Amino acid sequence: MPSEFDLIARYFTRPTRSSSAVQLGVGDDCALIAPPADESLAISTDMLVEGRHFLPGADPESLGHKSLAVNLSDLAAMGARPLGFSLALALPAADEDWLASFARGLFALADQEHIELIGGDTTRGPLTICITVFGSVPNDHALRRDGALANDDIWVSGSLGDARLGLEVLTRHLKLSADDTAVALQRLHRPIPRVSLGLALRGIASAAIDISDGLTGDLGHILKRSALGATIEADLLPIGSALRSQDQKIQYEFALNGGDDYELCFCAPLSQRDRVIATAQQVGVAVTRIGQTREIPGLRVLDRAGKSLHLRSQSFDHFSTP
């Protein structure tokens, strides 16, 4: 039976890149990070608990990817550059096949996004993965939630709703074509953090958030912090390619309230419209303008005829949803 230290050495210790901001990585009492001069550290933590955030028996390689991806998505939403991350793991057993696959998924994304594992903690317990990411951003360029102004455009990256569709496939055995099933499950298990878009939107976007709990709920956070309302045109929503096979009500429902999309929702003044489009093109990420902020409080979603849509559910909340 390998010890905790054997496991850390075998699966979670790698040499530090000499070029990085990480001065000291795994193996000491603390890691040391030197953010660039005149920049702030951007720090965010997300926890994934078996049975709550993923189903028992979930593929460990995908879990490795997703647990880092959801954290990188927070850095993206702040316009922060990834520097390092720590990993706290509770494991029911020292399952080396599980650890090897988990580490493979984790480090594939870490290498792609140039972020290093700098430390963590390992203990026995119900399967729980807790990652803290550290990034850096110039103070006055952070994409905060409270910076939107009235009549800003509201944009989203990529497409919405396919991850929620994937969850329906797994939990309610919804039947889709093989191609749509593959797309929906990929979106659920392998979210792509929009790091390069977040960086490119520095100085352009007035506010940003990543869509983890559903567009309306997450946009609602921007509106609340910026003391604004908004109008969204349902017709403009970038519906996920698999979700387009469903009837319109489900399309709207999942795109607006689905969750797990990990796209960016951001606001920008009208005067920046061309720059937003050019910037998104440069980083190779689709962006869609879906509405505008308003001085009048409240979020209205309009259908094609200009009538308010009333949707069943609100976005996901861990304490109000059984």
Interacting residues with ligand ADP (CB under 6 A): 8, 12, 26-29, 87, 89, 117, 119-122
- Pick one of Mg ion, ligand ADP, none as the site partner of residue 27 (Cβ within 5 to 8 A by kind): ligand ADP
Q: Looking at beta carbons only, is 95 or 121 nearer to Mg ion? A: 121
What is the closest distance, in whole angstroms, from the C-beta atom of residue 131 to ligand ADP in the complex? 10
Give which of Mg ion, ligand ADP, none residue 214 binds (C-beta under 5 to 8 Å, depending on kind): none
Instruction: Report the residue closest to Mg ion, judged by CB.
Output: 121
- CB 121, min distance to Mg ion, A: 4
Query: Residue 302 Cβ, how far from ligand ADP at the closest point, in Å?
Result: 48
Decide whether 121 or 146 has the Cβ nearer to Mg ion.
Answer: 121
The number of residues in the chain equals: 322
Instruction: Decide whether 122 or 159 has the Cβ nearer to Mg ion.
Output: 122
For Cα atoms 60, 63, 67, give the angle at the middle one, nearest 5 degrees: 150
- Which residues in this chain contact Mg ion in the complex, by CB under 5 A? 121
12 versus 98: smaller Cβ distance to ligand ADP = 12
Neighbours of 300 (CB within 10 A): 15
Report CA-CA distances (Å) from 35 to 22, 23, 43, 44, 136: 8, 10, 12, 15, 6
| Location of structure tokens 């399967």 | 127
Closer to ligand ADP by CB, 26 or 72: give it. 26
To Mg ion, the closest distance from the beta carbon of 29 in angstroms equals 9
Out of Mg ion, ligand ADP, none, what residue 119 binds, judged by CB under 5 to 8 A for its kind, is ligand ADP
* φ/ψ (deg, to 5) at 225: -70, -30
Q: Cβ of residue 22: shortest distance to ligand ADP, in angstroms?
A: 12
Q: Which residues of 70-105 are buried (b: 16+ CB within 10 A; e: fewer)?
A: bbbbbbbbbbbbbbbbbbbbbbeeeeeebbebbbeb
Surface-to-core class of residue 4, CB atoms within 10 Å of its CB (0-12 exposed, 13-18 middle, 19+ buried): middle
Q: Is the dihedral of CA 22, 108, 85, 44 positive or negative?
A: positive
